[in-house]
Structure 1
Amino acid sequence: MEKLPKTPSTKGPAEMFTGDVYFDVVYQGEEPSRMRANVVRFAPGARTAWHSHAVGQTLHVTEGIGLVQARGGDIVVMRPGDVICTPPGEWHWHGAAPENFMTHLALWEAPAPGDDTPESTWGEHVTGAEYRLP
């Protein structure tokens, strides 16, 4: 079996995340695969900005306690083993609970070849008022 190249952990950019977030690229498929997979680690209180994915996203929580919310929806607590699916184009955010680390596997696909839609579209940061325990 061929080994994938080892890439260093990357700190999540401040434009896309609040707090300390690190991710490791696990898989980035090449055509015909468009699959993407990252392990993402959130420090307590860290979270994504509002964002959406052109082809949707699946999160599988592996450690800790997290929060996720679709725009206009309720905040949902995530625990190890939970799987959260967001449909294409749905604006949402996710991150660690205020006093807990959280790690998840993020899975998504790139748009089809020839489709100029970005894989992910990033919006504004989640405010302190939006980020709260349910």
Structure 2
Amino acid sequence: MASFIEKGTPAPTAYFTGTVWVNINVKPDEGYNINMATVTFEPKGRTNWHTHVSGQILFVIEGTGYYQEKGKPIEVIQKGDVVKIPKSVEHWHGASHERLMRHIALVPDYDKDKTEWLQPVSDDEYNSIF
């Protein structure tokens, strides 16, 4: 039995800025057609811009963070929020400036999914919430 509460391991710096931890909870090779992980973002930690062919669902379980789709303003997300990211939409998510944010990320239809990692979110983009 695994725990989704543990921080896990440091996230790959090629795809994340700042201090981020990833705990893979459910792997597709375990017989489920999903990839599910708990991701902990320390303040200012964030993903790169990226897309998921199958879309993505985020369940915010702690703290306050940000979510942004390309061409739209940054949205504040917080504990209790469910973020439904449409298929193939370029986006990023991460912690707010002053508080950590933790979410459970779910990628459905994993056998059909392709995650495309893009450029880092610049400090100017990240700070555009102010």
**TM-score normalised to the size of structure 2?**
0.88
Identity of aligned residues (%): 35
Give, in whole Å, the separation in 2 of the partners of 1:40 and 1:23: 5
In the alignment, what sits opposite 2:15? 16
Gaps of 5+ in 1: none
CA-to-partner distance for each residue in 1:18-53, whole Å, 9 max, x for gaps?
A: 000001011113486311110000000000000011
Question: CA 1:31/1:96 → structure 2, altered by over 3 Å: closer, same or farther?
Answer: closer
Within the alignment, does 1:130 sit opposite 2:125 as a pair? yes
Give, in whole Å, the separation in 2 of the partners of 1:33 and 1:10: 22
In the alignment, what sits opposite 1:64? 63
Give runs of ≥4 in structure 1 deviating > 4 Å: none
Gaps of 5+ in 2: none
Give, in whole Å, the separation in 1 of the partners of 2:2 and 2:79: 26
**TM-score normalised to the size of structure 1?**
0.86
CA-to-partner distance for each residue in 1:64-98, whole Å, 9 max, x for gaps?
A: 00000000011000010001011111000000001
Structure with greater helix share of residues: 2
Question: CA 1:30/1:100 → structure 2, altered by over 3 Å: closer, same or farther?
Answer: same
Give, in whole Å, the separation in 1 of the partners of 2:111 and 2:37: 17
Give, in whole Å, the separation in 2 of the partners of 1:33 and 1:44: 32
Determine helix, strand or coil for the equivalent of 1:111. helix
The number of residue pairs the alignment matches comes to 126
Determine helix, strand or coil for the equivalent of 1:72. coil
Q: Which structure has the bigger radius of gyration?
A: 1
In the alignment, what sits opposite 1:100? 99
In the alignment, what sits opposite 2:85? 86
